[in-house]
Amino acid sequence: MSIQTIENRQELKAHINNLIVIEPKFAEVYKQVGVPDLRHSAGGFAQIMRAMVGQQLSVAAAASIWQRLLDAGLTAPQAISAASDEDLRAQGLSKQKIRYTRSLVEHNIDFAALETLPDEEVIKTLTAVIGIGRWTAEMYLLFSLKRADVLAVDDLAIKVATMELLALAERPTPKQLKNLTQDWSPHRSAASLLLWQYYGFLRQKTAIPL
């Protein structure tokens, strides 16, 4: 099975056009929000660790802790293994986040090998680490591995935007969302990017949290 990726803006536009053929309601969204930013990231150990460090924190708090870890040289597996819990706590990591970080080190993931694994295998590998849920693994697939067919059904913004797009009576459950969007494959990453943009558009339009 070949791995489908979206490498650039041109490829994203092609996926959006194909998505509109499958679900014409995306045409209006596309007209409103344009081509989304791909927001690609380098990936690897530090990318996953940073995502774990930032869980349930404000953007500012997460950035502050991450900078302290960078300054202390504590963002690589070997350095973390050699550090004490006190060393990590001194940079702002909670007891729970220290446990997560040590689990990530212990699993010794071959991040280069993830590039050739099917989506579900990548998710299985990443979620074996304590503190990594499916949503975080899907974000890694989408933004670091550039996979073309990822829709995060647990994501609040995607649920709200899909409810509006499909004129649903209520916010769909993850299972309902998965069933409703099955036909969007293999263009679900384009759908995710459009829906996040659309959610922002809807919030701006209503000027209240959705």
Contact 63, 50 (CB under 8 A): no
Each as own residue / partner, the long-range contacts of residues 142-145 (CB below 8 Å, 24 or more positions apart, any chain) are 142/189, 142/192, 143/38, 143/39, 143/40, 143/41, 144/40, 144/41, 144/42, 144/43, 144/44, 144/47, 145/5, 145/43, 145/114, 145/115
C-alpha atoms less than 13 angstroms from C-alpha of 50 in its C-beta half-sphere: 19
Query: Annotated catalytic residue: which of 110, 119, 154, 155?
Result: 155
Q: Is 155 an annotated catalytic residue?
A: yes
Active-site residue numbers? 155
